[in-house]
Structure formats: structure tokens, C-alpha cells
Homo-oligomer: A and B are copies of this chain.
Amino acid sequence: MNSPPAMQQPIDFYFDFSSPYSYIASEWIEAVAARHGRTVRWHAMLLGVAFQAAELKPPVNHPLKREYVLRDFARSARMEGVPYTQPEPFPIPTQNAARVYWWLHETRPERAIPWARACFRAYFARGVDLSDAQALSTLATEFGLGEGEAQAVWNDPVWKERLKRVNEAAVAAGVFGAPFFFVDGEPFWGNDRKAQIERWLSQGPF
């Protein structure tokens, strides 16, 4: 058999561009994977779809938890050495940025992860509102896309449908929050599962 050993499967990384813990994880997942000879498959999705399936609400919609997580987002970013400025508005709908991600993934795959990073950093470090069509268009042209190109993509039924299928597949796989990882089929939820993921990658199942 020429198939690679099971331990070398790519890591699946599900995220929403509006999720602070996803942003933080996006800054370490590639380095962690690379240290263990793994690659990462990035899956832009809509957390709202997963929340609906799991009967959950954003943490900032809960009394008490809201104040805590607003503090913890920034503290968790500092813990990882990642720049973080709480954006307003927050959270935001991110389907347009996600559709552009999947379009790049299909048509210019080497540009897809850089686009994801550009979106995360624009929102969480510079306060660029990804849900604002004008702001997102400007970000896309700064990124090197043609004038109006990103907007044409996010209005295209093909990429709307693609994102819808990703969301459905994520829920079918058990995703109810973000970031959400699968390593050799094992599910890990949260930026705070980094140590468990590292242990799994270095020592195998535990």
C-alpha cells in the first residue's frame, strides 16, 4: 500500500471570521501542525448555523458571560502574543468574506489562507467591519483582487451554495462552535484545546 500512515492526515480547522477564539487559533494552527509534519485544511463557515443546530447563542448574548468573554478574548490573545482590539460592531455576519474564501480555495488555492488571515487581522486588529460591503471591497482590492471582483463572488449563487454546503457538512460532523478541529477524526473545540492538540500530535491518541 502506498497510502500515508493515518497519523499524517491533515488537520481540519473550522472557523468563523467573527470568532475571536478562531482568530487567535488561526495564528498558531499552522505552526503547530508543521512541527508535527501535518498540513491544515481551513474551513470558513458560519457559526450562526452551528449555533442554531446546537440551540446555542453567542457568548456575548448571555448576561455575566458577556462581560467575562470580552475580557477573556483580549487576555487569551495576549497569552498567545496575538494583537487584539475588540471590534465594534461584534459579532458580525461574515458570509461575504467566507464566500470569497471558498472562491479563492477553488480558483487560486494559494491565495485562500492568505485571504483568511487578511480578513481575521483586518477585523480583530484594525476594526475593519467585514460585514460592510464597502469595507470588504476595499480590503479585497488591497489584497490584490480586481475592482468589484469580490462583490461579484459573494453575490454569485455558486459561492452562496458552496458556503451553505460547508455549513451543513460542519454540523453533520458535529461542529457546534469555533474554532473546531478534527485531528485523525478526534474533535477538539476551542482555542483552549491547543495543549491537547499538541499532545495528540506528538504522542498520538490519549
Contacts and interface: CB of A to CB of B under 8 A. Distances in A.
Interface residues of A, number: 31
Given A53-B63, A56-B62, 6 more contacts: A53-B64, A54-B65, A65-B176, A68-B176, A79-B206, A192-B193
A36 interface: no
A195 interface: yes
Contacts of A78: 206
Interface of A: 50, 53-56, 62-65, 67-68, 71-72, 75-76, 78-79, 171, 174-177, 187, 189-190, 192-193, 195-196, 199, 206
20 contacts: A50-B64, A53-B64, A54-B62, A54-B63, A54-B64, A55-B62, A56-B62, A62-B176, A64-B175, A64-B176, A68-B176, A68-B187, A68-B189, A71-B187, A75-B196, A76-B196, A78-B206, A79-B196, A79-B199, A79-B206
